[in-house]
């Protein structure tokens, strides 16, 4: 684990050398493959160093972080082209990657908390430094205060665990005593806000709409997964409390998912629509996790990986249109099939993944989450049916409204994508559809 971390840290000086943009990206690709072949396909911690280790959950999410960060650099070529402080931009991406690597790799609950919180800072800088509108300050404040306010009780909860069991090492955490409501809320609230659960999700669409494409990609791709990962880790301590209180969150996330899907159907901003759709997806993840069943754990882990790739790819597509037309409004971005005919295929492929069409990883994960929720209580079938229907509805709305129809008269030329953009979308879509052929590590890791 440490060798890859040192590799990342030693990449930082390269950011400030002139014209090293693509070099940094290639070296990150190299590190990704070094880590990939350093495989960990057991549910035990392996590759242990003094404070880091890696089991299957960590391995999948670290790999996702690497992949998304490489693609962020590829998608943000306009930062390099317009020379808007691209050295600092690369530095922010690298710092964020190091922090995420440490978050997913740490084997100690307190270290996890430390890196979990500090990953906010580079994200904030990305939004404030390279965002689009002046409201990005307000979005940054939303992001910071929502997540910090909820995560201070988590720190107190961690200290309480330490005072009880004298260890914060993940494999040694026990299944805590009786259902204490306050302790349960303190441990879990930070992750619910980070996921984000319906009712505490308001920071997410705001941050997405104001963030540059790289900020949106890392937010949707990896930072939402921190919540799910944290829950997977702390439920070891909260099993008894979970059996007592989890039904509340399942109810909120299922009803919230349907309501958010309805909100999606009346969005006019491409980015806001994709952002709200990820709130709906993470609602299902949360519901599956809270059932505490094997299907639920495996399905939520798989959907975290799948949604990371799919949502990130959709944000790239929205950004490609934004760079051509200077607007993200669906009223201006219609009839794009006439304007960029070969992009329409990618819109179709990524939209179909978003509504869990085969052979995407989303399908596998949603099937197992449906299993877990219906097995938990068959009443949940009602909301799940609505959720599935509306998720297909808003995805079709996004696709058909943006691709078909009469083209906006202000658009007067035909534009093809760059090879870089097609490669970027290809690298989002291929892992999403090929991972289903090797899904045993995703579904059989416990």
Q: How many Å apart are CA 241 and CA 176, to the nearest integer?
A: 9
Q: Mean pLDDT throughout 328-348?
A: 92
**67: confidence class by pLDDT, cuts 50, 70, 90:** very high
Count other Cβ atoms within 10 Å, centred on residue 32: 18
416 DSSP assignment? P
- Asked if the model's pLDDT at residue 211 lies above 70, the reply is yes
- Asked if the model's pLDDT at residue 249 lies above 90, the reply is yes
- Indicate the helix (H) or strand (E) that contains 322: helix 294-325
pLDDT in tens, 430-440: 999 999 998 88
Q: What is the pLDDT of residue 351?
A: 97
Write out the residue range of the structural domain in which residue 234 sits.
1-408+415-443
Contact 201, 258 (CB under 8 A): no
Percent share of the chain, pLDDT over 70: 99
Q: What is the pLDDT of residue 286?
A: 96
Contact 127, 136 (CB under 8 A): yes
DSSP state letters, 307-319: HHHHHHHHHHHHH
pLDDT in tens, 281-319: 999 999 999 999 999 999 999 999 999 999 999 999 999
Q: How many Å apart are CA 45 and CA 40, to the nearest integer?
A: 8
Q: Mean pLDDT throughout 152-177?
A: 88
* pTM of the model as a whole: 0.96
pLDDT in tens, 87-130: 999 999 999 999 999 999 999 999 999 999 999 999 999 999 99
Q: Mean pLDDT throughout 239-246?
A: 91
Q: What is the pLDDT of residue 119?
A: 95
Give me the residues paired with residue 364 across strands: none
pLDDT in tens, 371-423: 999 999 999 999 999 999 999 999 999 999 999 998 888 887 777 889 999 99
Number of independent structural domains in the chain: 1
- Asked if the model's pLDDT at residue 133 lies above 90, the reply is no
Q: Mean pLDDT throughout 23-28?
A: 96
What is the gyration radius of the CA atoms in the chain, in angstroms? 21
């Amino acid at each position: 684990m440490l060798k890859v971390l040192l590799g990342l840290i030693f990449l930082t000086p390269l950011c400030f050398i002139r014209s090293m943009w693509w070099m940094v990206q290639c070296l990150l690709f190299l590190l990704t493959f070094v880590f990939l072949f350093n495989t960990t396909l057991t549910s035990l911690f392996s590759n242990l160093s003094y404070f880091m280790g890696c089991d299957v959950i960590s391995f999948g999410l670290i790999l996702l972080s690497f992949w998304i960060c490489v693609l962020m650099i590829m998608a943000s070529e306009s930062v390099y082209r317009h020379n808007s402080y691209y050295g600092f931009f690369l530095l922010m991406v690298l710092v964020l990657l190091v922090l995420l690597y440490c978050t997913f790799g740490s084997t100690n609950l307190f270290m996890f908390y430390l890196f979990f919180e500090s990953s906010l800072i580079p994200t904030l800088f990305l939004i404030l430094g390279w965002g689009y509108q002046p409201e990005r300050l307000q979005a940054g404040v939303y992001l910071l205060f929502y997540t910090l306010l909820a995560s201070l009780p988590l720190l107190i909860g961690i200290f309480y665990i330490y005072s009880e069991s004298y260890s914060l090492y993940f494999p040694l955490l026990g299944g805590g005593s009786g259902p204490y409501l306050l302790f349960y809320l303190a441990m879990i609230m930070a992750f619910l806000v980070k996921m984000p659960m319906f009712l505490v999700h308001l920071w997410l669409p705001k941050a997405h709409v104001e963030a540059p494409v790289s900020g949106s990609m890392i937010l949707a791709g990896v930072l939402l997964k921190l919540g799910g990962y944290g829950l997977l880790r702390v439920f070891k301590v909260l099993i008894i409390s979970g059996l007592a209180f989890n039904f509340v969150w399942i109810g909120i996330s299922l009803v919230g998912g349907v309501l958010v899907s309805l909100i999606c159907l009346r969005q006019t901003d491409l980015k806001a629509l994709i952002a709200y759709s990820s709130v709906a997806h993470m609602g299902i993840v949360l519901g599956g996790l809270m059932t505490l069943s094997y299907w639920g754990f495996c399905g939520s882990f798989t959907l975290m990986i799948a949604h990371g790739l799919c949502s990130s790819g959709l944000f790239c597509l929205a950004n490609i249109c934004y760079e051509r037309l200077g607007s993200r409004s669906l009223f201006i971005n219609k009839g794009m099939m006439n304007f960029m005919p070969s992009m329409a295929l990618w819109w179709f492929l990524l939209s179909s993944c978003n509504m869990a069409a085969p052979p995407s990883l989303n399908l596998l994960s949603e099937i197992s989450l449906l299993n877990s929720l219906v097995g938990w209580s068959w009443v949940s079938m009602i909301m799940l049916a609505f959720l599935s229907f509306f998720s297909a509805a808003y995805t079709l709305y996004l696709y058909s409204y943006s691709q078909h129809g009469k083209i906006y008269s202000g658009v007067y030329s035909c534009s093809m994508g760059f090879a870089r953009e097609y490669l970027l979308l290809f690298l989002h879509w291929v892992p999403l559809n090929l991972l289903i052929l090797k899904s045993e590590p995703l579904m059989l890791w416990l």
